[in-house]
Amino acid sequence: MGVKQMPSYDVELVDIVKDFESGGGRVRAVDHVSVQIEDSEFFALLGPSGCGKTTTLRLIAGFEQPTAGHILIRGRAMEGIPAYHRPVNTVFQDYALFPHLTVEQNIMFGLQMEGVHKKEARVLAAEALEKVRLPGVGERKPHQLSGGQQQRVALARALVKQPAVLLLDEPLGALDLKLRKNMQFELKALQRDVGITFIYVTHDQEEAITMADRIAIMNDGLMLQVGTPKQIYEHPETHFVADFIGETNFIAGTLIERRADGYGTVRLGDGTVIRAQLSETLGGSAGTVTVAIRPERISISTPLNPPKALGNADEATVLDALLVDSQYIGTDTRYTLRIGDEIELVARLQNIKDQEHAALKIGGNVKVFWQDSSTTVLDK
C-alpha cells in the first residue's frame, strides 16, 4: 500500500491569531484565519481599512509574529524564521526605492547583500527590467521616472531574487486611475509570465476581481469567504460580502420554507411570496432573512422586453413596480424602482436598445422580473 501524498501549498495559514497591545488592553487584528494558497496562484486579500488584510500579509512576510497558529511556506514552518530568511519578497505602496541609487543599483542591492557577484547581479538586473518592460533605464535615478515606472522598478527589485511568493501591499494605490487600470492588466500578465505566487492586498474590489484567481474577503480580522471572483460575486455567503462586492439590492423578508432543490420561499413585508436561492451558510430553518440581487439581474418589462415564461428548472419572479428615477451612465442606465410602500430596487439595463429605454417613463407603472437563480437568501 503506497504512502498517501498530502497536498502541498505555497502558503498555508493554520488558525492564525494576531493580537496587539492598545491602551492597556488587547486588540485582535487577525481572528483564527486558515487558508491554503496554491502554487502560481494570484491570491487577493480584500476588505476595508482595518480589516486585518495588511496584518495577514505582514505575518506571512515575517514582519509580525502570530499570537497563535502556524504559517507554512512550501510546507516549511516559519516559526522563528526572520523576514530576511523567508522565501518571499514584498512590494510596498510607496515603492521604498533608494533615491540616491540608480535603478540598476536598486535592483542589484538585495542580490549583492546575499553575496552575488556584481557582474552577475548586473545581468540579472537587466533581465528583471526586461520582464517589467523597462529596458534601458538602469542608469536613471528613481526621481527621473514616472510613478508607474517606479512601480515597475519596485517589482523588478522584488522579482530579481526569484522568491517563492511575492507579497504586494496595495502597490497601485499611489497611481492615478487610468494608470492604475493599465497596471492591473500588466501585473496579471507579469504574474502569468514569471509563474510566481502573488498575494495581493487591496481595498479596491475592481482590482481584486480583475486580477485574482481567488479572493479572500476580510472584515474585523475574520476571513468571511474565499473563492473565485465569479463565486464571490454570484454567490456571496454573507450580507457583508454581498454589499462590499459590487452594487446589490437587499430585500428584507421571512423565510417560510426550505426546499430540497436549494431554494427557499420568502414572504416579503407586503405579503408577496417569492422563491430564491439559499446561501450555503444560511443558518436556522426559518425566520428573518435578506434576499440579495444584483441590479444587472433585474429586467424591466416593455413591449420589446416582456417577462420571460421560464420552466420549473429556472423560474422567474415578476412584480409590479413604479419607475421613480433614471440615470444615464454611459454603458448602461440605472433605474430606481419602488415596489409597494417599502421596497426600493435599482436595476441597470445596457444601452443597446434605444427603443426599449424610450418606452420607460418616470412615474410610469412597469413590471420587474428576474430569474430566481439570480437571487441569494442571506442571514439578516
DSSP string across 325-348: EEEE-SSEEEEEEEETTTEEEEEE
pLDDT band at 180 (very low <50, low <70, confident <90, very high): confident
Residues 233, 239, 240, 246, CA torsion sign: positive
Region 265-277 average pLDDT:
90
User: CA-to-CA distance for 254 and 257, rounded, in angstroms?
Assistant: 9
Q: Are residues 150 and 35 in the same domain?
A: yes
Instruction: Quote the pLDDT of residue 285.
Output: 62
13 three-class SS: strand
pTM of the predicted protein model? 0.88
Q: What is the CATH number of the domain that holds 152?
A: 3.40.50.300
How far apart, in whole angstroms, are the C-alpha atoms of residue 136 and residue 126? Answer: 8
**4: in domain:** no
Same domain, 273 and 225: no
pLDDT band at 286 (very low <50, low <70, confident <90, very high): low
Cα–Cα distance for residue pair 204/178, rounded to 1 Å? 14
Which residues sit opposite 345 in a β-bridge?
A: 337
Confidence of residue 352 (pLDDT cuts 50, 70, 90): confident
Residue 7 has a pLDDT of 54
Domain co-membership, 228 together with 253: no
Q: Which residue has the cell 526572520?
A: 82
* Residues sharing a CB contact under 8 Å with residue 53, sequence separation 6 or more, in sequence order: 45, 46, 47, 201, 202, 203, 218
Is residue 2 situated within a structural domain?
A: no
Q: Phi, psi (5° rounding) for residue 166?
A: -105, 125
In three-state secondary structure terms, 353 is coil
Task: Indicate the average pLDDT of the chain.
Answer: 89
Lowest-confidence pick of 123-137, 271-285, 323-337: 271-285
Q: What is the pLDDT of residue 310?
A: 45
pLDDT score, position 356: 62
CA neighbor of 29 nearest in space, from 14, 18, 21:
18
The residue from 204, 234, 264 where one domain ends is 234
Domain boundary among 187, 210, 234: 234
Residue 240 domain flag: no
pLDDT given at position 380:
74
Q: Residue 56 is placed in which grid cell?
A: 495577514
Q: Based on the domain organization, do 224 and 254 belong to the same domain?
A: no
pLDDT at site 311: 45
What does DSSP say about strands 287-293 and 375-379: parallel, antiparallel, or unpaired?
antiparallel
**Percent of the chain having pLDDT more than 90?**
58
Least Cα distance to 349 among 336, 330, 333, 362 occurs for 333
Which of the pair, 321 or 354, is modelled with greater confidence?
A: 321
Based on the fold, state whether residues 106 and 186 are members of the same structural domain.
yes
Do 210 and 252 belong together in one domain?
A: no
Rg (CA), the chain: 25
| pLDDT per residue as tens digits for the range 198-217 | 999 999 998 999 999 999 99
